[in-house]
Amino acid sequence: MNSQANTAFAATLRKLRNERGMSQYTLARVTDLDRTYISLLERGLRSPSLDTMLALARGLNVSLVEISAAVEASLLAGPPNA
């Protein structure tokens, strides 16, 4: 199931990765995660564990607080208007 939280996390992860000019493959290599798992996270099809979130934060060179704040802000903003 694709929850609002998963959707917000997915958008945040994709945005941070793209801002750093990283491919999913590169992020997978620096985090020791599988590229297909990163794809699932970016599509909101999986929920990350705390360990995964910490690995992603390190790999993206951001704090876990920054990721969490961006996800929370996205949730508070609500879905984009169509």
pLDDT, tens only, 11-64: 999 999 999 999 999 999 999 999 999 999 999 999 999 999 999 999 999 999
Q: Rounded to an integer, what distance in angstroms lies between the CA atom of residue 58 and that of residue 81?
A: 33
Q: Rounded to an integer, what distance in angstroms lies between the CA atom of residue 43 and that of residue 6?
A: 8
What global pTM score does this model have? Answer: 0.89
From residue 52, alpha-carbon distances to 10, 15, 47, 77, 82 in Å are: 13, 17, 9, 25, 32
CATH 1.10.260.40 fits 4-77, yes or no: yes
62, two tokens? 């951001």
Q: Rounded to an integer, what distance in angstroms lies between the CA atom of residue 75 and that of residue 48?
A: 16
Per-domain residue ranges of the chain: 4-77
Any idea what DSSP says for residue 81?
P
Confidence at residue 77, expressed as pLDDT on a 0 to 100 scale: 87
